[in-house]
C-alpha cells in the first residue's frame, strides 16, 4: 500500500493518494464505493471511509477520484484547497501512520510526504529488514515509528529535509 | 532524532529480553475497536495510548490488538479487556486520559474502572 501526500503552500493545495494492490473493484463497485449506503461489511449497513474522505475534499472545492481494477488494485486520490475555510487540518499524521502499520503488520506500507521541494519517506519493508524476527507491532517499535514520522515532517516544514534532486 | 540505529537497538533489547516476552498468550488482552466510526470518535489516540503505557510500564504480558467493529457506534471508542480467568470488561467512550487509569487500576492492579464501563453508560 502506498500513501502519497504532497503539500504546496504556494498554490494552497494538498494532494492525498492511497494506492493498493488488493482485490480491486469493478466499474460498478467503484462507482458505488463513495455511496455511504454501499459497503461489503457484514457488521453494519453503512460504509463511511470513502464518503467522508470525498466529502472533506469537496468541501474545499477540491476534487476526488477513484480508480480501480478488479483483481489488480485501487487508487483513491483527492485534492484539497488548504486555504478554504472548510479545509480540515491533516491532524497527527504520525498517529495515523503508526496506527495503520500496527493494525496491518503483514502489509508493506510506503508513505511519502512532499512539501515544497523536500521529501520524507517511510517504507515498512526497510523497517522489517532491520527488525528481522522482531514484530513491527511491538509497542516500542510503534513508538519509534511515531517519533520518526514526527521528526521527518518537522524537518519537511522546517525546510531542512533532504532536497529532491 | 530517531534513526534506524535506534531501531536496531530496540531489536537487540527485545531479543535480549526474549524470556520476558516469550509468551504473552496467558496474559491480559486489550482489544480496541478500530472501524471508521471508532476512528472518527477518537479510537486512534486510545490505541496509541495503550501501546505507550505498555511500553512505559514494561508490561511484558499484555497484548494490545484491534478489531473492526465492537457494535455500538454511539459508545465508541470502545475497548475490551480480557484478564485471564476473569470476565471480559467493556469500556466505552474512551480517551487517552481514561486509558492511563484503566492500565493503572485494572490491568496492573486488577480493579476494573467501573465508571467507564458499558454497564455504567447504559
Ligand atoms: N481499496 C479498496 N479495495 C477494494 N474495495 C474497496 C476499497 N475501498 C473500499 N472498497 C469497497 O467499498 C466499500 C465502501 O468503502 P468505505 O471505506 O466507504 O466503507 P467501509 O470500508 O465498508 O466501512 P468503513 O470505512 O466505514 O469502516 C467497502 O465496503 C468495499 O467493498
Ligand atoms: S460500526 Fe460502529 S461500532 Fe461497529
Ligand atoms: Mg473503509
| Residue A38 reports pLDDT greater than 90 | no
End-to-end alpha carbon distance in chain B: 46
A105-132 average pLDDT score: 95
Find the closest chain B residue to A131 by CA distance: B11
Those of residues 102-131 in A touching chain B at CB distance below 8 A are 102-103, 126-127, 130-131
Which residues pair with residue B30 across a beta bridge?
B64, B81
Q: Return the sign of the alpha-carbon dihedral for residues A50, A53, A58, A61.
A: negative
* Contact (CB, 8 A) for B79 and B54: no
Say if A141 falls within a structural domain.
yes
| Residue B19 reports pLDDT greater than 80 | no
Say if A164 falls within a structural domain.
no
Tell me how far apart the alpha carbons of residues B62 and B73 are, in angstroms, rounded to a whole number.
26
The confidence score (pLDDT) of residue A143 equals 94
Q: Where does the pLDDT of residue A13 fall: very low under 50, low under 70, confident under 90, or very high at 90 and above?
A: very high
DSSP conformational letter for B24: -
pLDDT tens for each residue of A107-116:
999 999 999 8
Peptide bond into B77 cis (omega under 30): yes
Q: For ligand 1, atom 27, which residue shows the shortest CA distance?
A: B36
Task: Calculate how far, in angstroms, residue A146's C-alpha sits from the geometric centre of ligand 2.
Answer: 26
Residue ranges of domains in chain B: 23-121
| Residue B10 reports pLDDT greater than 60 | yes
Say if A16 falls within a structural domain.
yes
Tell me how far apart the alpha carbons of residues A65 and A31 are, in angstroms, rounded to a whole number.
10
CB A27: neighbour CB atoms within 10 A?
10
Q: Tell me the CATH number for domain B23-121.
A: 3.40.30.10
Backbone angles phi, psi at A37, to 5 degrees: -95, 10
The confidence score (pLDDT) of residue A165 equals 39
C-alpha cell recorded at residue B26: 496467558
Q: In terms of pLDDT, which residue wins out, A40 or A1?
A: A1
Say if A86 falls within a structural domain.
yes
Question: Which candidate, B15, B97, B21, B87, places its Cα nearest to that of B59?
Answer: B21
Q: Locate all alpha helices (DSSP H) within chain B, ordered by sequence.
A: 4-16, 18-21, 36-41, 43-56, 96-101, 118-121
| Residue B103 reports pLDDT greater than 90 | yes
The confidence score (pLDDT) of residue B37 equals 82
pLDDT tens for each residue of B45-89:
999 999 999 999 989 889 999 888 777 888 999 999 999 999 999
The Cα of B22 is separated from the nearest Cα of chain A by a number of Å equal to 11
Residue A22 Cβ inside 6 Å of ligand 1? The answer reads yes
The confidence score (pLDDT) of residue A161 equals 43
CB A74: neighbour CB atoms within 10 A?
22
Do residue A134 and residue B14 have CB atoms under 8 angstroms apart?
A: yes
Find the closest chain B residue to A151 by CA distance: B1
| Residue B25 reports pLDDT greater than 80 | no
A87-111 average pLDDT score: 92
Give the range of the structural domain holding residue A78, as residue numbers without chain letter: 2-156
Q: In terms of pLDDT, which residue wins out, B17 or A132?
A: A132
CB A29: neighbour CB atoms within 10 A?
15
| Residue A127 reports pLDDT greater than 90 | yes
| Residue A70 reports pLDDT greater than 90 | yes
Say if A96 falls within a structural domain.
yes
Q: In terms of pLDDT, which residue wins out, A146 or A45?
A: A146
| pTM listed for this prediction | 0.86
Q: What is the mean pLDDT of chain A?
A: 90
Tell me how far apart the alpha carbons of residues A104 and A144 are, in angstroms, rounded to a whole number.
16
Provide the pairing of β-strand B28-33 with B62-67. parallel
The Cα of A5 is separated from the nearest Cα of chain B by a number of Å equal to 20
The confidence score (pLDDT) of residue B81 equals 97
Give all strands (DSSP E) within A9-156, no chain letters. 13-20, 63-69, 73-81, 110-115, 118-123
CA angle centred on A66, ends A60 and A68, rounded to 5°: 170
Tell me how far apart the alpha carbons of residues A79 and B62 are, in angstroms, rounded to a whole number.
41
The confidence score (pLDDT) of residue A164 equals 45
**Percent of all residues in chain B with a pLDDT value above 70, rounded to a whole number:** 93
Domain containing residue A21: CATH number: 3.30.565
Domain count, chain A: 1
Do residue B14 and residue A143 have CB atoms under 8 angstroms apart?
A: no
A62 touches chain B (CB under 8 A): no
Peptide bond into A23 cis (omega under 30): no
| Residue A128 reports pLDDT greater than 50 | yes
* Contact (CB, 8 A) for B50 and B63: no
Within 8 A by CB and 6+ apart from B119, the residues are none
Amino acid at each position: 500500500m502506498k500513501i502519497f501526500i504532497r503539500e504546496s503552500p504556494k498554490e494552497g493545495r494538498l494532494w492525498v493518494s492511497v494506492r493498493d494492490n488488493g482485490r480491486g473493484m469493478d466499474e460498478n463497485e467503484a462507482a458505488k464505493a463513495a455511496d455511504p449506503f454501499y459497503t461489503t461489511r457484514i457488521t453494519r449497513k453503512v460504509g463511511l471511509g470513502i464518503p467522508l474522505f470525498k466529502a472533506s475534499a469537496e468541501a474545499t472545492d477540491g476534487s476526488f477520484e477513484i480508480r480501480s481494477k478488479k483483481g489488480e488494485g485501487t487508487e483513491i486520490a483527492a485534492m484539497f484547497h488548504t486555504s478554504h475555510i472548510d479545509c480540515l487540518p491533516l491532524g497527527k499524521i504520525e498517529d495515523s501512520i503508526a496506527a495503520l502499520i500496527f493494525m496491518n503488520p503483514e502489509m508493506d506500507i510506503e508513505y511519502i510526504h512532499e512539501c515544497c521541494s523536500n521529501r520524507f519517506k517511510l517504507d515498512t519493508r526497510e523497517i522489517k529488514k532491520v527488525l528481522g524476527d522482531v514484530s513491527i507491532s511491538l509497542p516500542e517499535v510503534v513508538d519509534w515509528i511515531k517519533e520518526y514520522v514526527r521528526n521527518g515532517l518537522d524537518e519537511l516544514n522546517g525546510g531542512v529535509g533532504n532536497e529532491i534532486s | 532524532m530517531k534513526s534506524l540505529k535506534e531501531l536496531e537497538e530496540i531489536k537487540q533489547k527485545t531479543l535480549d529480553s526474549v524470556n520476558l516476552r516469550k509468551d504473552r498468550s496467558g496474559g491480559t488482552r486489550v482489544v480496541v475497536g478500530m472501524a471508521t466510526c471508532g476512528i472518527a470518535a477518537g479510537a486512534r489516540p486510545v490505541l496509541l495510548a495503550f501501546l505507550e503505557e505498555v511500553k512505559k510500564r514494561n508490561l511484558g504480558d499484555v497484548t494490545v490488538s484491534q478489531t473492526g467493529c465492537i457494535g455500538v457506534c454511539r459508545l465508541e471508542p470502545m475497548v475490551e479487556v480480557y484478564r485471564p480467568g476473569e470476565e471480559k470488561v467493556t469500556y466505552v467512550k474512551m480517551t487517552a486520559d481514561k486509558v492511563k487509569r484503566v492500565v493503572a487500576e485494572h490491568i496492573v492492579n486488577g480493579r476494573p474502572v467501573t465508571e467507564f464501563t458499558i454497564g455504567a453508560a447504559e
